Amino acid sequence: MAALELRSADLQSSRNNQEHHTQEMGLQRLIVRRSQSFTIQLHFSRPFHSGTDHITFIAETGPEPTELLGTRATFLLTSARQGNVWSASDFTIDANSLSVSLFTPASAVIGPYTLKIKISQGQGHSLTHLLGTFILLFNPWSAEDDVYLPSEILLQEYIMMDYGFVYKGHERFITPWPWNYGQFEEGIIDICFEILNKSLSFLENPSKACSQRNDVVYVCRVVSAMINSNDDSGVLQGNWGEDYSRGLSPLEWSGSVAILRQWSAGGGQPVRYGQCWVFAAVMCTVMRCLGVPTRVVSNFRSAHNADANLTIDTYYDQNAVMLPTQKRDKIWNFHVWNECWMIRKDLPPGYNGWQVLDPTPQETSSGLFRCGPASVKAIREGEVHLPYDTPFVYAEVNADEVIWLFGGGQALEILAHNISSIGKEISTKMVGSDQRQNITSSYKYPEGSPEERSVFMKASRKMLGSRRASSPFLDLLRSSGSKDQPVQLQLHLAQTPEWGQDLLLELHARRVADRAHPQGPIRLVVRFCAQTLLHSGGTRRPLWRQKVHLTLDFGEEIQRSLSLPYNNYKNKLTDEKLIRVSGIAKVAETGRSMLVLKDISLEPPHLAIEVSERAEVGKALRVHISLTNTLSVALSHCTMVLEGSGLIDGQISNDLGTLVAGHTVQIQLDLYPLKVGRRQLQVLISSKELKEIKGYKDIFVVAAGAS
């Protein structure tokens, strides 16, 4: 009989990709998920005879692949699958064609593979042919995979959804920031593996690094380190200053695709610039692309507790100025990280599910700027001894805040001890909706509840260790807290604050009984100060001051109006447009001080986006965009950027010039949708005065010619 010769191979990319939920990445090349069969077809010079013809399949990934490292697999053609191992089985013969089902185990290394076939020619001779290449990904649809997520609704959200929202701002002024993840856009899958190949672990030992890519915990930690560039040729360079002249302001990004493509095209030069929401959104793109269910989570009033003592100290002087501190501890207005879904075989039972991963460079973990995975369940239960970086994340959502009056080079008195001011409104996008979901309860028990305080004390004992006995912080916890005050003070906004207008506030003061002064009038002097509030939780120099004298009899209530003129803040705010108004009241009769605070967020003008007709692949879709400048000043150097996976290839940019106060700009343009299904158009208008005027429009695209 003539020797068996291979004529051609068909990897059946189109069919396999659809069965493996990778069709959005394209149908031209084979992209499959581990722990799931895929079928290929081989065409030979004659019919295949299973009794006498012997063929062996060889799959290889990474440099110098070996079976010992798990980066090379050889497996014979058999009639039935051999368990959770590489196998070729369930074949059918049709004339000179052989259809074979290939299976990859749930423990397989992810990455780009070459697939070869070795045909035995008898008498010890054989011929090896390259069948082609394929990419192997994690498989959250398979119960055998460590990233298994048993809900199709959740899989559609956390793997297949290529747009979403990042929540920013302030706990009382939460802003949804639309983001184009674009994990299925052309070339993104290759860039994800390029990121892994530029990691320090790969550069030190490429073969070993590749062999560890079967482990989702390892892959997550590598990606967490590689999204920032503090240790390596990572994707993004962080910048928390205000000079973005050598790159783009973090507020000017509206999607991950442009960032990842720029990084790749630049040979691994970090892209300028990112802050927490950009780092987390890009990591979400990479992890969803690799097949790990991932979401973006925002924590409002997020503690950065560098010394792990579970307390953040804030200082004000007697003029109500919030003082800078030399300590690295801070309370961010908000901080954004990721959660990835996985089984934690490295932890005791009970800590599977969502795990915190944070690519923003805050603290090192095993020598690199990365964070996690930290089990959300471990955080909730205060099990801070469990890896990775659980104490740091626990403090981000649970630290206590102590506010001090500072003067003469020392802390004079405690103005407030807040046990529930950190870790507020922990938020993510709701599944199948554009609404925000509050997930604070998954991180901690209700504030002030017996369970929450019990968990806090357990975590503090573990974190403080030998410092615990002499810790002034724990002494403070055991104390009864601040003493009664004879006056209650509150600051309210008299009307909705608008950028470009004077800001009107009202001080409400009410005399109440206290043990020291149960009756009689109380005199106090309230010194007010307004400062620009930075994203990092710090402030700039005062931009407004005022002093108010009050005398209150028992039971009396007084209101005083305060006005913060536009001229005081017009050139003083950062892109976040946040102002902190603080007041320190000195009570003459007691000599003690009181603090009153009000944070103000100034809303930018709103975009309107309308679509005139039904969206169809390849057919012109007219989009109307309008923006009215509701401010009292012109917006200069306006630029518009449109983005949206499946709607636009890349980005569309336009210069809009200057938008005069009170005027409206109208833009009309045609898009030609590229893919069917739910899509989101994101529009960002930036100006010299305002960086983040952003809007979005959900668009459902039907197939070409659909009735």
- Residue-wise pLDDT for 230-284, tens only, equals 999 999 999 998 899 999 999 999 999 999 999 999 999 999 999 999 999 999 9
C-beta separation of 605 from 627 below 8 A: yes
How far is CA 21 from each of CA 163, 204, 296, rounded to the nearest angstrom?
A: 17, 34, 22
Give me the mean pLDDT over the 652-671 stretch. Answer: 95
Token pair recorded at residue 203: 């550069």
The mean per-residue pLDDT over the stretch 568-574 comes to: 89
Contact between 351 and 344 under an 8 Å Cβ cutoff? The reply is: yes
Predicted confidence (pLDDT) at residue 21 exceeds the cutoff of 70 = yes
- Give the SS3 label for residue 600: strand
Q: CA 416 to CA 316: how far, in whole Å? A: 11
Residue 191 and residue 188: Cα distance in Å, rounded? 5
Catalytic residue among 358, 389, 400, 575: 358
- The stretches of 110-187 forming alpha helices (DSSP H) are 152-155
Summarised one tens digit per residue, pLDDT across range 596-616 is 999 999 988 889 999 988 999
Q: Are 286 and 223 in contact (CB under 8 A)?
A: yes
Question: What pLDDT sits at residue 483?
Answer: 61
Greatest CA separation for the chain: 115
Residue bearing the bigger pLDDT, 500 or 179: 179
Q: In whole angstroms, how far apart are CA 320 and each of 213, 217, 332, 403?
A: 53, 47, 20, 12
Q: Catalytic: 190?
A: no
Evaluated on CA atoms 462, 467, 469, 471, the torsion sign reads negative
pLDDT confidence of 59, banded at 50, 70, 90? very high
Q: Calculate the alpha carbon distances from 337 to 272, 359, 696 in Å.
A: 19, 7, 22
Report the run of H or E that residue 265 belongs to, with start and end: helix 257-265
The mean pLDDT of 459-476, rounded to a whole number, is 68
What pLDDT shows up at residue 85? 96
pLDDT at site 485? 84
In a 13 Å sphere around the CA of 684, the CA atoms on its Cβ side amount to 21
Cα separation of 460 and 423, whole Å? 16
pTM: 0.95
CB atoms within 10 A of CB 503: 25
Q: What percent of the chain has pLDDT above 70?
A: 97
Using CB atoms within 10 Å of the CB of residue 223, give its burial: 0 to 12 exposed, 13 to 18 middle, 19+ buried. buried
- Which of the four pLDDT bands, split at 50, 70 and 90, describes residue 645? very high
Q: How far apart are the first and last CA of the chain?
A: 56
Cα–Cα–Cα angle for 159, 161, 166, rounded to 5 degrees: 105
Q: Give the H/E segment covering residue 263.
A: helix 257-265
For 553-592, give one letter per residue: b (16+ CB within 10 A) or e: eeeeeeeeebebeeebbeebbebbbbbbbbbbbbbeebeb
Candidates 286, 282, 289; CA nearest to 159 is 289
Residues written for the chain: 707
670 is a catalytic site residue: no
Is it the case that residue 98 has pLDDT exceeding 50? Answer: yes
pLDDT surpasses 80 at 707: no
Rounded to an integer, what distance in angstroms lies between the CA atom of residue 451 and that of residue 458? 11
pLDDT surpassing 90 at residue 571 = no
Report how far Cα 16 is from the mean position of its chain's Cα atoms.
31
Count the Cβ atoms, other than its own, within 10 Å of residue 416.
Answer: 17
Q: Using an 8 Å Cβ cutoff, are 528 and 548 in contact? A: yes
The per-residue pLDDT for 601 is 93
List Cβ neighbours of 333 (8 Å cut-off, separation of 6 or more): 169, 170, 300, 301, 533, 534, 535, 536, 537, 576, 578
Residue with tokens 């102002």: 579
Give the residues across from 681 on adjacent strands: 697
Q: How many CB atoms lie within 10 A of CB 175?
A: 18
488 or 121: whose pLDDT is higher?
488
pLDDT of residue 423: 98
Question: What's the half-sphere exposure (Cβ side, CA atoms, 13 Å) at 116?
Answer: 15
Q: By three-state DSSP, how is residue 260 classified?
A: helix
- List all residues 6 or more positions away from 392 whose beta carbon is below 8 Å from its beta carbon: 305, 308, 362, 363, 371, 374
Q: How far is CA 428 from CA 68, 165, 295, 432, 438, in A?
A: 42, 8, 7, 12, 7
Residue 466 has pLDDT above 80, yes or no: no
Could you list the beta-strand ranges (E) of 52-152.
55-61, 72-76, 87-94, 97-103, 111-122, 125-137
Contact 210, 201 (CB under 8 A): no
Residues 24-37 have a mean pLDDT of 97
Q: Which two tokens stand for residue 535?
A: 């994203």
pLDDT score recorded for residue 490: 96
Q: Give the per-residue pLDDT at 518.
A: 66
Q: What confidence score (pLDDT) does residue 481 get?
A: 47
The answer to whether the beta carbons of residues 13 and 27 sit under 8 Å apart is yes
Catalytic residue among 192, 220, 276, 289: 276
More reliable by pLDDT, 192 or 590 = 192
pLDDT-based confidence at residue 469 (cuts at 50, 70, 90): very low
Strands 311-316, 353-357: parallel, antiparallel or unpaired by DSSP?
unpaired
| β-bridge pairing 294-304 and 424-429 | antiparallel
Residue 354 predicted with pLDDT over 60? yes
Task: Give the CB-side neighbour count of residue 327, counting CA atoms within 13 A.
Answer: 17
Mean pLDDT along residues 330-349: 97
Q: Which entry of 21, 170, 335, 535 is annotated as an active-site residue? A: 335
DSSP string for residues in 293-311: -EEEEEEEEEEE-TT-SSE
What per-residue confidence (pLDDT) applies to 7? 97
- Under the banding of pLDDT at 50, 70 and 90, the label for residue 480 is very low
The pLDDT of residue 470 is 47
d(CA 90, CA 48): 14
Query: In the structure, what pLDDT confidence band is assigned to residue 630 with cuts at 50, 70 and 90?
Result: confident
- 358 in catalytic set: yes
Mean pLDDT across the stretch 566-585? 92
Residue 374 CA to residue 354 CA, distance in Å, equals 9
Nearest in space to 414 (alpha carbons), one of 538, 513, 315, 308: 315
Secondary structure, 3-state, 444-491: CCCCCCHHHHHHHHHHHHHHHHHHCCCCHHHHHHHCCCCCCCCEEEEE
Helix ranges (DSSP H) in 586-643: none
